[in-house]
Amino acid sequence: MSAPVRVDDVRYAIDGIPLLHGVSLTAPAGRLTGVLGPNGAGKSTLLRLIAGLTRPAAGRVLLGDHDLHRLPRKVRARRVAYLEQQSTTEQPLLVRQVVELGRIPHLGRWQPPGPADRAAVLDALVAVGMIEYAERRWSTLSGGEQQRVQLARALAQQPEVLILDEPTNHLDLAAQLTIMAQVAAAGRTGIAAVHDLNLAASYCDRVVLLSGGSVVAAGTPAEVLTPDVIEEVYGVRPRTLADPESGRPVLIFDRIPAATAAGSGVQVP
């Protein structure tokens, strides 16, 4: 089961500094929506708000027909899973126990996990390719392995909405493709911050491009990821091709001449 998410003219500020300036977007049910934009564009700020971790100063986030911020906490926790950019866990937990944390919203107070919970945990570990690590200490895993386990935790939660802040961070190429494929095929409403525009173009049904806390463009990858829009937002102009198999856009970035890069303050090896 999944529900659409609608963000309606949301504003957000910290210490009087406005970070989101009237952001609106729709994430269709059961589809993957990519949130794109340069560093500091407001992606994480927006995702935390959609996950219900922070409240908008104005505007609303709707989950189906319900104002997400008015849902009881436990109901929201069952319906929405959030994978933050750098998930950590303080306790010396086993991998299996970290994934079991995803079942907490489904359990009553003091209720131990039952067969359905254990099955959800195992399925999630298989989905991210980490089943063989189930009895390892989470803290001994590599960064990419930890990231996969945190994704398994979100999947084990079996939410309607899966909110992922850079889910492919730290992952090797095959793992990036696998994770994006799993998220896209999960049948849940996925909203993911993604830096790699080509990864977003090939896996996202829709993309929303943020810049400076505002939406610059939204639509299918082909509608949004045009050379003009990319140049306007990122300051670099790609060439685009259409993938002959999928028709989706493929972006090619030419090398920036060393003299230009040196002038921009970016270190060139």
Ligand X SMILES: Nc1ncnc2c1ncn2[C@@H]1O[C@H](COP(=O)(O)OP(=O)(O)OP(=O)(O)O)[C@@H](O)[C@H]1O
- Where along the sequence are the contacts to ligand X (CB under 6 A)? 14-15, 17, 19, 37, 39-45
Residue 40 C-beta: closest distance to ligand X, Å: 4
Residue 192 C-beta: closest distance to ligand X, Å: 12
Residue 35 C-beta: closest distance to ligand X, Å: 8
d(CA 153, CA 81): 9
- Rg of the Cα atoms in the chain: 19
Tell me the longest C-alpha to C-alpha distance in the chain. 63
Decide whether 117 or 165 has the Cβ nearer to ligand X. 165
**164 phi/psi in degrees, rounded to 5:** -125, 120
Contact 84, 165 (CB under 8 A): yes
The CA-to-CA distance between both ends of the chain, in Å, stands at 49
Decide whether 89 or 214 has the Cβ nearer to ligand X. 214
Decide whether 20 or 130 has the Cβ nearer to ligand X. 20
Decide whether 19 or 207 has the Cβ nearer to ligand X. 19
Decide whether 14 or 242 has the Cβ nearer to ligand X. 14
Residue 17 C-beta: closest distance to ligand X, Å: 5
d(CA 164, CA 211): 19
Residue 52 C-beta: closest distance to ligand X, Å: 16
Q: CA 61 → CA 216, 239, 261, distances in Å?
A: 19, 36, 40
Helix (DSSP H) and strand (DSSP E) numbers for the chain: 10, 12
Residue 93 C-beta: closest distance to ligand X, Å: 26
Decide whether 36 or 130 has the Cβ nearer to ligand X. 36
d(CA 35, CA 204): 9
